[in-house]
Structure 1
Amino acid sequence: MLRTFREHHIRKTALLDGPWDFVTDPGNEGLHGKWFDRFPHDSKSLYIPSCWNNELSLFHYEGVAWYRKKIRLEDAQHVRLIFHAVLGHCDVYLNGRHLGYHYGGYTPFDFVVPSLSEGEHELIVRTDSTLDRLTIPTEHVDWFHYGGIIRSVELQLLPDLYIEQLKIDYLLEGADADICIQVRLHSLSQQAVTTTLKLSEGGHVFHSEHVKLEAGQSVDCEVKLHWSDVRLWNVGKPELYKIEARTDFDDKIDRIGFRRIETKNHRILINGTAIYLKGVNRHEEHPEWGFAFPPKLMQKDLDIIRELGCNTVRGSHYPQSPYWLDLLDEHGIIFWSEIPMWGAFLPNETVCEPLFQDRALTMISEMVSMHYHHPSVVFWSVHNEIDSRTQDAYEMTERLVSLVKQMDTSRLVTYATMHPLEDVLLPLFDVIGINKYYGWYEGDISGFRQMLQQFHERAEMLGAGDRPVLMTEFGGAGIFGDVGWEPRLFSEDYQAQIVTEALDIFRSDAKIGGTYIWQFADIRGDLKSDGKHFRDRARSFNNKGLLNEYRKPKQAFREVRRIYQSWNDFADLHK
């Protein structure tokens, strides 16, 4: 499933999920050998969506791989192919013809093929999961580096005149909403076409107009209206509206929630009410599925997160599935969305590279476009743990923040810093996230107190003293089942001690607006026998999860549940 609701009733759609022909290309011979035209005979069958590293003998494979799927049309059709996420570099071919290239990993891209003939067609995909100094993430990254087509591939049959885009914006004044709906229609016809465009909510048509398009033309229709007494979306109290655009030939449905996001007195406000954020960092990863995370497991993760007492989740460290965000929308849980620029080992020289910056800008644009209508998304994050002490980082970050604000002024722009006492980026952001691991990577847990005091003084000096501050990463590793009479490194007892003492420190600081514990569940680490990084990861996992990788709770989970459930969601602005 792509979403928790249907996006189309008229438009015919089909998922191409299931077995595809698959072959690795470790020598990168496929382009020279024209595998896009003559697919190798020695291929195997691989289920899509999936990560190839979950297959036997491919655990450590990083590089090029090819996929093939044969599709059949009963009649000549306009076709739209949507790849909902492919890791790394991706080239798509249809019947030997190159449709296009995409770089990324966690956002969709598509190709429209007009008048594709009836009969059988060969769809071939070349992927390359190789990381290097200019990829995002770069070659040294603190999560397992999977490869593959990780989300569904969708085939849509388009009419001559189809809905290309539905975009909904609004401004709230109390419970009154000034709404602007933009519908882009595109014609694939060889002659002029007239249609009736209708907009509806809950089956009630609130706008209708006739639209004429010339052959091959695109038309943007803009509708402005005022709704009174709208139901507001809020934490724990989700209210959602389905908006449908329909023509005589096509339809498109999306879902929104009305809420106003602000900051005041170091707090995040939703609809004028201050919220104290109680969260975890969650990788969309599982040892048996990798990043091809099935909806059933998403529902289980959500149930566990709600049981923990969370009202927010940070999407570490990449745009996550729209299905997951649908679930958060439906349960009133705040989401932090970010691109996969993970920077603990990111050289400053890379930050200056035009290609690296262009890739980051593209990823931000695609992330914002994909999640634009989800009311759960409150934060857009542009990077995590880069060297934020340099002028080069400042100039790149200015570009990234500027793009976010061009695309969306309704949400908060943020990031997470690992250099809080030397960071020069603080004034650029609406909200500041701090990643620090006292008690684990450095010093004693009590070190948080002095660090925060110094940070608040520095933020004030840089003109960012009024920003909400969130503790976006903290914690320590605990091996599931390792318990004893006293806390010690890698025991569940010591992990629980770190997290509970840190939470107490943060809650007593009036300038801290919330916490995101690192992390929800244990994840695979990027360990290589010939590599020098992350060799402290026991079991080849990052073991800082409150749960193990199979979602079994550790002692820290029970302690955090006790603490989070005792904290009110709503924060006193005057404390």
Structure 2
Amino acid sequence: MNIRPQVLVMLVFTSIILTACSSPETSRKTIDLSGTWAFKLDSNNVGVQEQWFNGFFDESVILPGTTDENKKGTPNKKIEVNHLTRKYYYVGKAWYQRTVVIPNEWQDKTIRLFLERTKATEVWVDGQRFPLQKHLSAPHIYDLTKVLTPGEHTLSISVDNTPKLFPTGGSHAIAKHTQTNWNGIIGKLELTAMDKVYIKSLKVFPDTENKEVKVVFRLPNPEKEKLNGTITCQAKGFNGHNHTIKKQTFEFSSSENEIVVTGKYNMGNNFATWDEFTPHLYRLSAKLSAKSESNAYGDKTEESFGMVEFTTKGTQFVVNDKFTLLRGKHDACVFPLTGYPPTTKDEWVRQMKICKEYGLNHYRFHSWTPPKAAFEAADLVGIYMQPELPQWRQFKETDTAHFHFQRKEGEAIFDTYANNPSFVMFALGNELGGSRKLMAKMVNHLKEYDGRSLFAQGSNNYFWNPKKQPNEDFFISARTKKKQDNFVNDIRASFSYANDPNAGIINGQFPNTERSFEAALKHCDVPAIGHETGQYQVLPNFNEISKYTGVLEARNFEVFKQRMIDQNMFSYWEELFEASGKHAALCYKEDNEISMRTPGLGGFQILDLQDFPGQGTALVGMLDAFMDSKGIVSPEEWRQSCADQTIQAKMPRLVWQNNESLTAELIAINYGATDMVNNTIAWTLTGQNGTVVASGETPAINFEQGKITSLEKISVPLSEIETPQQLTLALSTSNGKITNNYHVWVYPESIKEEKVTEVEMATVLDMATLAKLENGSKVLLMPDSASIAKNSVGGLFISDYWCYPMFKGICERNNKPVSPGTLGLLIDDKHPVFKHFPTSFHSDWQWWSIMKKSRPIVLDSADAEYRPIVQAIDNFERCAKLGLLFEFKVGKGSVLVCSANLNDKDDFVAQQLLRSMLRYMDSEEFSPQTTLSQNKLLSVIYGNTSTKSKSRITNDKGNTGGYDLLQ
């Protein structure tokens, strides 16, 4: 807390109010300014010069609100695909004006204008100007005491949303990609009258160790009167408890123009604490009574707070002496109906309760800070909040205006929100670069100004060469050190091809459930948090289009829909959507579990539980942009991998042969409120037909709070499984409340050459192979990769990272390889080709090596309605129909095409798929229904340079996520 040394304060604690200072209690009076305002756009910025504050405006709007909501600005006819589209577009100044009548009883009062959230504002009262304010993260408060005398006045407010006024870079505070760069005033809009001496601010500093709360009051004393007074405080519990603390009173005596009163409020021995499990809150009421020789003043105010100690121990976070693992969501201010964040609690409570249902306990606000209502909702629900300065740019020694703006923004953030117990962490912004010295200076200043939260210099700063800085209390990054092979410095499981040619550990390492980020933590001595984990794409849900009934339209979805129509895939888009979603959920589950089972990790911040509709349209959520479920994964399923208490089976791999024993180490991860006493894990290995292969239960032990407990290792011989099967390993605690399950696959140990009588194997469609087809042969074509390179895409297991067009452009501009861009597989799982290769309708872990060695073929030359047996799901930008496994009738013969290399004798999964294909082809069931000519088949396999999918590939030249900006 920064208290100016020239302010003299005398404090005395007493248990009763001094009668000498008693005065009539006064309360604040408020005029609500919401409603109709006169309005005028000032796109040419001439309003001040032409003295619009002295004129009258013909148009009107409703405030609180925005120009978009009031249908002001230019009707937007653009079809935009990089983000949602504003129906009405406006950038510049807009003027808002109304008459206010000040009552007689406000004479000699202090009068303040409160604008909860807006852009750059200037205020005029009857033509008198008040200086520009530019806070993006906190209210604009104007002292209008000198001009608002009793009677009628004209109040004019200019609001300017011109981006260059705010040195923020791509901050989500004003970015068009999420909340939009709106113009207007939202939230509370009011005039308030108070005594000239009143409680201007009240800051609350809980101290659980000493069972007290430090309170700091600031009282203006504009006449510098010699004042004697008291402030009487009382805290009363709410949100789950009704504990009342006895009143305590603080005396003061001062004649300074600003009086600072500091005291310690004793909470007693039985106070309730605040955390994610029991978010108990107190409401502290404060009553001021002050008196000079000629005047008496009074005021009342209140603040809510919680008794919480959020700190660190080694590389982990500790809340009230309990270890926690932060399971967070990234928040980029996605509110598609309004284009701006809610300023009342209801919607924030709704969203945060949804997050709790999905096992999350943490919000990270990417380069912005939400309104007060968000913190109040987090207080009630039990969410640990990390707001940030509104910046996504570099710190430069020469840019003093930027540093000054952000410093003032930080001070305002702490002044406005730091009493909320949920405000436990703070960072300077997203992916910052430039001067580390300036970043350290900013953190040191804000720590001194208000030290209630933990601090980081930024989120994923210098991501090409990250390093924890000396004054950071925690470290948010994708890596703890510069990239090394084998993913050893990574603390997230997926990357774009711009940052890793393997796209991260899940795509780059054979599937297993043993991997962790433990090796990376040796480079960091504070809690490390995985930055923006996940980012697995899902195809658009076109049923969502009708939900955009507010200021934004999903014209991007309409474009993507038309692409599917053009590519003859719209008739089965829901199947593609569901399969891509299930595949993304599969990746998220493993991603979450890697973090959960890493000893000593501070946490992870997924990007995101909900879709991000900007930056090229990144549909990476299990929930849509409205925080509604897509029907992909239930909260209960998600919590198997992401919750305060989870159980796992650590397996060296997920595919086995029947001459082996399946091995797994069972672990319990407990970041809950208490120890899990006398608990067990029951396990069952079940076959496809429901037959129990094996089962068991671990001995009962305690799963200690804050620890990962290793239980027994299980080993199940697989020799009795004679046919290829998908098995399910199901886990459950003894009380049945915590469950998890894994798919594993078992294949015969010996993959012998199939004795097929008629199948011809080929790698190219040469004249000899075509002649065999024409004469009635069965041909298995596994094309040589080089021969189909121009008509195929690369092999990828994970769902494409974030957004294909955005990172395609970034990779090309930085001479990096481009991602194949696919989103998993849509599989005709009932097709007889899979009789000996069990599969679901979507890709699962047994497809990992096959997909990695594949080159899905662009089927633009096939008939419009043709569907492959296995389709690699393409992203919505390229939107090609991609075949990994498909078949045709050609002449008298038939061809099965597999665009994956299955010839690796050491890959028993690939060998099993090959065996299943050959058995199918050697049976009467091999009877393709679609007939092609030889020329048509050649065109399908080797392509046509004029295919629609190729001509539609474009680069996103918009926001690059900071990559180009910082290189």
Normalising to structure 2: TM-score of the pair? 0.51
Question: How far is the alpha carbon of 1:31 from its aligned partner?
Answer: 1.6
Distance 1:359 1:258 in 2: 32
Unaligned runs of 5+ in 1: 1-7, 526-533
- Give the aligned partner of residue 318 of structure 2: 269
Indicate if the aligned counterparts of 1:493 and 1:555 stay in contact, CA closer than 8 A: no
| Cα offsets for 1:138-182 (capped at 9, x unmatched) | 589453322322332221111232112212224332xx4243222
Alignment CA distance shift 1:123-1:498 (3 Å): farther
| Cα offsets for 1:191-237 (capped at 9, x unmatched) | 666554322223765333555665x8432222234433222212211
Question: How far is the alpha carbon of 1:374 from its aligned partner?
Answer: 0.9
- Give the aligned partner of residue 528 of structure 1: none
Residue identity in the other structure for 1:150: I
Indicate if the aligned counterparts of 1:286 and 1:523 stay in contact, CA closer than 8 A: no
Alignment CA distance shift 1:150-1:544 (3 Å): farther
Alignment CA distance shift 1:472-1:51 (3 Å): farther
Distance 1:120 1:291 in 2: 33
- Give the aligned partner of residue 587 of structure 2: 498
Question: How far is the alpha carbon of 1:398 from its aligned partner?
Answer: 0.9
* Residue 395 (structure 1) aligned to one of 411, 420, 437: 437
Distance 1:81 1:514 in 2: 41
| Cα offsets for 1:55-114 (capped at 9, x unmatched) | 436333222212123221121343111121112x22122221112221121211312232
Matched positions, count = 535
| Cα offsets for 1:305-364 (capped at 9, x unmatched) | 22222212222331112122112112222111111212xxx3x47574111111111111
Q: Report the 3-state secondary structure (helix = DSSP H, G, I; strand = E; otherwise coil) of the residue aligned with 2:369.
A: coil
Question: How far is the alpha carbon of 1:547 from its aligned partner?
Answer: 1.9
* Residue 299 (structure 1) aligned to one of 327, 337, 349: 349
Residue identity in the other structure for 1:564: C
Distance 1:419 1:484 in 2: 40
Distance 2:306 2:437 in 1: 34
- Give the aligned partner of residue 190 of structure 2: 154
Instruction: Write the mapping of 1:457-496 to structure 2, written as runs, cut at 5 A.
Output: 460=522, 465-474=524-533, 475-478=535-538, 479-480=540-541, 483-484=574-575, 491-496=580-585
- Give the aligned partner of residue 548 of structure 1: 624
Question: How far is the alpha carbon of 1:262 from its aligned partner?
Answer: 1.9
Alignment CA distance shift 1:26-1:272 (3 Å): same
> Does residue 177 in structure 1 map to residue 211 in structure 2?
yes
Distance 1:417 1:519 in 2: 16
Instruction: Write the mapping of 1:12-23 to structure 2, written as runs, cut at 5 A.
Output: 12-23=29-40
- Give the aligned partner of residue 236 of structure 1: 277
Distance 1:545 1:454 in 2: 23
Unaligned runs of 5+ in 2: 1-24, 74-87, 237-243, 290-297, 479-491, 510-514, 543-572, 647-669, 673-704, 710-967
Distance 2:63 2:426 in 1: 29
Question: How far is the alpha carbon of 1:370 from its aligned partner?
Answer: 1.2
| Cα offsets for 1:377-414 (capped at 9, x unmatched) | 11111111123xxxx33022112211221123332112
Distance 1:476 1:74 in 2: 59
Question: How far is the alpha carbon of 1:484 from its aligned partner?
Answer: 3.0
- Give the aligned partner of residue 531 of structure 1: none
Indicate if the aligned counterparts of 2:34 and 2:189 stay in contact, CA closer than 8 A: yes
Indicate if the aligned counterparts of 1:261 and 1:268 stay in contact, CA closer than 8 A: yes
* Residue 125 (structure 1) aligned to one of 136, 157, 163: 157
Indicate if the aligned counterparts of 1:261 and 1:410 stay in contact, CA closer than 8 A: no
* Residue 505 (structure 2) aligned to one of 430, 447, 455: 447
Instruction: Write the mapping of 1:303-314 to structure 2, written as runs, cut at 5 A.
Output: 303-314=353-364
Alignment CA distance shift 1:544-1:56 (3 Å): farther
- Give the aligned partner of residue 362 of structure 1: 408
Alignment CA distance shift 1:445-1:487 (3 Å): farther
- Give the aligned partner of residue 58 of structure 2: 42
Residue identity in the other structure for 1:468: P
Residue identity in the other structure for 2:441: R
* Residue 249 (structure 2) aligned to one of 208, 212, 220: 208
Indicate if the aligned counterparts of 1:421 and 1:455 stay in contact, CA closer than 8 A: no
Instruction: Write the mapping of 1:64-143 to structure 2, written as runs, cut at 5 A.
Output: 64-75=93-104, 76=107, 77-87=109-119, 89-114=120-145, 116-132=148-164, 135-138=167-170, 141=175, 142-143=177-178
Q: Which has the larger radius of gyration?
A: 2
Alignment CA distance shift 1:234-1:455 (3 Å): closer
Q: Report the 3-state secondary structure (helix = DSSP H, G, I; strand = E; otherwise coil) of the residue aligned with 1:36.
A: helix
Indicate if the aligned counterparts of 1:547 and 1:557 stay in contact, CA closer than 8 A: no
- Give the aligned partner of residue 399 of structure 2: 353
- Of 249-258 and 259-268, more deviation after overlay is shown by 259-268
Distance 2:52 2:493 in 1: 48
- Of 360-369 and 550-559, more deviation after overlay is shown by 550-559
- Give the aligned partner of residue 379 of structure 2: 329
- Give the aligned partner of residue 518 of structure 1: 607
| Cα offsets for 1:540-567 (capped at 9, x unmatched) | xx42333222332125553534432463
Q: Report the 3-state secondary structure (helix = DSSP H, G, I; strand = E; otherwise coil) of the residue aligned with 2:43.
A: coil
| Cα offsets for 1:515-561 (capped at 9, x unmatched) | 22112433543xxxxxxxx3x32xxxx42333222332125553534
Alignment CA distance shift 1:495-1:49 (3 Å): farther
Indicate if the aligned counterparts of 1:278 and 1:311 stay in contact, CA closer than 8 A: yes
Indicate if the aligned counterparts of 2:622 and 2:633 stay in contact, CA closer than 8 A: yes
Instruction: Write the mapping of 1:19-34 to structure 2, written as runs, cut at 5 A.
Output: 19-34=36-51
Alignment CA distance shift 1:393-1:299 (3 Å): same
Distance 2:441 2:45 in 1: 35
Question: How far is the alpha carbon of 1:275 from its aligned partner?
Answer: 0.5
Residue identity in the other structure for 2:706: D
Q: Report the 3-state secondary structure (helix = DSSP H, G, I; strand = E; otherwise coil) of the residue aligned with 2:340.
A: coil
Distance 1:418 1:507 in 2: 24
Q: Report the 3-state secondary structure (helix = DSSP H, G, I; strand = E; otherwise coil) of the residue aligned with 2:477.
A: strand
Indicate if the aligned counterparts of 2:596 and 2:642 stay in contact, CA closer than 8 A: no
Alignment CA distance shift 1:495-1:91 (3 Å): farther
| Cα offsets for 1:259-301 (capped at 9, x unmatched) | 1122124211001110012221223441221214253322321
Q: Report the 3-state secondary structure (helix = DSSP H, G, I; strand = E; otherwise coil) of the residue aligned with 2:307.
A: coil
Q: Once superposed, what is the RMSD of the aligned Cα atoms?
A: 3.2
Indicate if the aligned counterparts of 2:228 and 2:251 stay in contact, CA closer than 8 A: yes
Question: How far is the alpha carbon of 1:241 from its aligned partner?
Answer: 1.7
- Give the aligned partner of residue 530 of structure 1: none
> Does residue 290 in structure 1 map to residue 328 in structure 2?
no
Q: Report the 3-state secondary structure (helix = DSSP H, G, I; strand = E; otherwise coil) of the residue aligned with 1:299.
A: helix
Indicate if the aligned counterparts of 1:24 and 1:64 stay in contact, CA closer than 8 A: yes
Alignment CA distance shift 1:555-1:499 (3 Å): farther
Distance 1:411 1:419 in 2: 23
Distance 1:448 1:416 in 2: 23
Distance 1:201 1:440 in 2: 50
Question: How far is the alpha carbon of 1:425 from its aligned partner?
Answer: 5.0
- Of 69-78 and 232-241, more deviation after overlay is shown by 69-78
| Cα offsets for 1:422-473 (capped at 9, x unmatched) | 024544411111256826565555436989x99977775xxx5222111231
> Does residue 251 in structure 1 map to residue 300 in structure 2?
yes
Distance 2:627 2:520 in 1: 40
* Residue 186 (structure 1) aligned to one of 220, 226, 234: 220
Distance 2:153 2:261 in 1: 35
Residue identity in the other structure for 1:477: Q
- Of 65-74 and 416-425, more deviation after overlay is shown by 416-425
Q: Report the 3-state secondary structure (helix = DSSP H, G, I; strand = E; otherwise coil) of the residue aligned with 1:319.
A: coil
Indicate if the aligned counterparts of 2:66 and 2:186 stay in contact, CA closer than 8 A: yes
Alignment CA distance shift 1:194-1:231 (3 Å): same
Residue identity in the other structure for 2:208: L
